[in-house]
Chain A
Amino acid sequence: MTFDLDRPWQVDPRVSMRPEPFGALLYHFGTRRLSFLKNQRVLAVVRSLADHPSARAACAAAGVPEAELPAYARALASLADSKMISERTVV
C-alpha cells in the first residue's frame, strides 16, 4: 500500500498509546491488535499527526531528514493498514 504523505492523518480515537523506553506501544480497542513504534521520532510524528495539515508536515516538524521520508512513509502505511491511523476529514 502506498501512503499519501500529503493528506491529513490522525491516530484512530480507539487507539491507546503508551510510551516505552524504545518508542511506544499502540493498542487498538476496535481491532484488538497491538502495534509498536520503534523509536522516539516516529512516536513524535504519530502523536502530532492530528496537529498538522499533512503527514509530511508532521514529519518535518519532528525533524525527519528528507532522505528518511520513504522509511517513515512505509511505517505510516503499515499503521494505516492496521487502522491505527486514519485519514482525517478536513472541514
Chain B
Amino acid sequence: MVTVLTESGEWPVAEAEASGDALWMPAREAEAATGWVAKPEGLCKGEICVPLPPGREQEFVRTGRMNLGALWRHLGHPVAHSARGDAWVLAQSARDRSSSRQSLMAPDFTLPDPAGRKHSLSDHRGKKILLVTWASW
C-alpha cells in the first residue's frame, strides 16, 4: 500500500509499487490521483500532452501501468517520498504555480472547521473575503 498525496487529496493505492525513484501504479489509479493518462501522443492531462523521450517510453508506461515518479521528475515537479516508499507527495512546480498565480484568481481550497465539517473558499463566492491566517503558537 502506497499513499499518494496530490493536489486533489490523499490517495491510498493498493497495487502501487515503489522502488527508488520509481512509483508504478495501475493507470486508472494514476489518473484518479493526478489526472494524467497515457495516450498515443504521450502522457496527457486535459488538453496538455507531454511527449515521452524517444526510446525511453518504457520508463514511464508499461502495459496498463504508469510510473508517476518518473513522470513527475520529467515534468520538473517536486517529488518527496518516505524512506520506505509508502508515502509520496507529488506536488506542483513553482513555474506552474507562478503562472496560475498571475491570473490573480483566488485558488479554491477545502479545509475542515474544528467540528470536522469541510468548507470551501468557493462557498463564499459573491462576497468580499478577508482570508486571514493565525496560529496558536
Q: A and B from one assembly? A: no
Please report B residues at the A interface, Cβ cutoff 8 Å: none
